[in-house]
Chains A and B, each alone.
Chain A
């Protein structure tokens, strides 16, 4: 059992944990999905599992953009950057994600011009600084990141910068939740809703989860107390037989979202008819593509894209882990062939991926305890 006095506001943490135990009782098992990868990371980091009663199970959702990107998309992006006139720019999170022929970082070692950027604006700046080259920004992320990509494309258009394009892999969270709810092997009672995505989309887009699917959802902050309070709110709804959208993270998330960000996305992007998600398969209207007005800044419309499809290594069970059917350590490759140092699946690459989080906090802890007990 973890000692709650390690936390800030330990008395509030204790109170929330006690309330959870009281509400959860012992008669029923609760399965709650935290949708956002940031929450998954926080749950492991803070050892929340040790605070929660055993009959509350947290299932890790699809909200890690690096983890859900199929390997074929990485291959497609890298194939464009084989052209020596192209600079491949991406966030640091992408750099170690394996493609069939290696990660972007490994391609860099073989001579590809690969640059880490911390902002899409910096990718545009690279284009200004390298007028003889074409800068392709390999864009990933949910609605948290997509508006920034959109604004940068609007700037490129306004300034007439032609040596810049975006390879768009932006995805949208709502259809992924719908796919999970439709999946026959998923039995969930409630959702811990994503925090920062909701600063953009607001709370309304989740209403169907409550109304149509009959599942409670609480938009949550990232501190231990935030998440425990969100679980209390979910349990209260479940006890009363209610299903509502509630906002625990009011200090950051406005109910209506961010209108300027939504406008920017609407200006540049349109929904793809379907998009492949690693582990979840093809989901209709679940991703964004660049619209016709911005075709000149769309890597997929400017370059020949091979449209590579790669099936995950058979032994890797990323899909089952991503859907919460298997726990990370139940995958055959976990901790053996697949580790954060040598990732085979993307869930092991990002700190928000459930395998990396499990490995870093649970697996290493268990290994230390085993070696200590063997010494004594």
Chain B
């Protein structure tokens, strides 16, 4: 439940400013930026993602740390499964 997965913003959706394409260790998924309206991220920024929503902006170093924590916790498979499970893509 507490999983927070780091991802890098690749692109903000031209149709919806609250949807972004992120890269999580090579996997690209759409996430929701609605909870960062007061501190909007831009492409290239790193965010922590929880249940499909960006929760906070973090530095690249912190993103690397967080990924390593997940790996150490044995949660990396669960995290990747979660990311791949986001069915926010259109047509799915």
Q: Could you list which residues of chain A lie within 8 angstroms of chain B, going by C-beta atoms? A: 8, 36-38, 41-42, 45-46, 63-66, 91, 93, 116-122, 125, 140-141, 144-145, 147-148, 151, 195-196, 199-200, 221-224, 251-254, 258-261, 264, 350-352
Q: Of A93, A122, A261, which contacts B35 at CB under 8 A? A: A261
With A46-B72, A144-B50 given, name 20 new contacts (CB 8 A): A42-B69, A45-B73, A65-B1, A93-B1, A118-B85, A118-B87, A119-B87, A122-B87, A125-B88, A144-B55, A145-B51, A147-B53, A196-B48, A222-B73, A223-B68, A251-B65, A260-B34, A261-B55, A264-B35, A351-B75
* Inter-chain CB contacts under 8 Å: number: 126
- A148, B56: Cβ atoms under 8 Å? no
Q: Of A91, A195, A224, which contacts B51 at CB under 8 A? A: A91
Mark interface residues in B50-90 (1 if CB within 8 Å of A CB, else 0): 11110110110010010011001111000000110111100
A119-B52, A121-B52 as given contacts; A148 in contact with B32, CB under 8 Å: yes
Q: Of A8, A121, A253, which contacts B88 at CB under 8 A? A: A121
CA distance in complex: A151, B52 (Å): 12
- B32, A151: Cβ atoms under 8 Å? yes
Find chain B residues with CB under 8 A from A42 CB. 69, 73
Find chain B residues with CB under 8 A from A38 CB. 1-3
Q: Of B2, B51, B55, which contacts A119 at CB under 8 A? A: B51
- B1, A148: Cβ atoms under 8 Å? no
Find chain A residues with CB under 8 A from B48 CB. 196, 199, 252
Name A8's closest neighbour in chain B (CB-CB). B68
Q: At the interface, yes or no: B4 with Cβ under 8 Å from chain A?
A: yes
Find chain A residues with CB under 8 A from B56 CB. 199, 252-254, 258
- A151, B35: Cβ atoms under 8 Å? yes
Q: At the interface, yes or no: B15 with Cβ under 8 Å from chain A?
A: no
Q: At the interface, yes or no: B21 with Cβ under 8 Å from chain A?
A: no
Q: Of A45, A221, A261, which contacts B74 at CB under 8 A? A: A45
A91-B51, A119-B88, A223-B69 as given contacts; A196 in contact with B32, CB under 8 Å: no
- B55, A251: Cβ atoms under 8 Å? no
B35 CB → nearest A CB, Å: 5
Name A118's closest neighbour in chain B (CB-CB). B85
Find chain B residues with CB under 8 A from A37 CB. 1-2
B2 CB → nearest A CB, Å: 3
Q: Which 9 A/B pairs are nearest by Cβ-Cβ distance?
A: A119-B52, A38-B2, A118-B85, A260-B37, A148-B53, A151-B34, A261-B35, A260-B38, A122-B87
Find chain B residues with CB under 8 A from A351 CB. 75
Mark interface residues in B19-62 (1 if CB within 8 Å of A CB, else 0): 00000000000001011111100000000101111011011001
- A141, B62: Cβ atoms under 8 Å? no
Name A140's closest neighbour in chain B (CB-CB). B1
Find chain A residues with CB under 8 A from B82 CB. 118
